[in-house]
Amino acid sequence: YLMDCLANGSLSTTASDHCTFNGNQKALGKDDFRKIPHGVNGIEDRLSVIWTKGVE
């Protein structure tokens, strides 16, 4: 879906935000996943994936 939106012009920019969390913050989601701090592992790979799939 992301690549389709970039290709058809309905989306022109992608970005990410990096925020680190300490052990206490990460532990908030131990018993309730809804309390896990926002963020995704691997987000640093987004640009290379978009380049590979969208340009090459």
Cα 47 vs. chain centroid, distance in angstroms?
Answer: 10
Angle at the Cα of 49 from the Cα atoms of 56 and 22, rounded to 5 degrees: 160
What does the domain layout of the chain look like in residue ranges? 2-54
pTM listed for this prediction: 0.42
Per-residue model confidence (pLDDT) at position 8: 92
**How does pLDDT run across 16-52, given as a tens digit for each residue?**
666 778 889 889 888 988 888 876 666 677 778 888 8
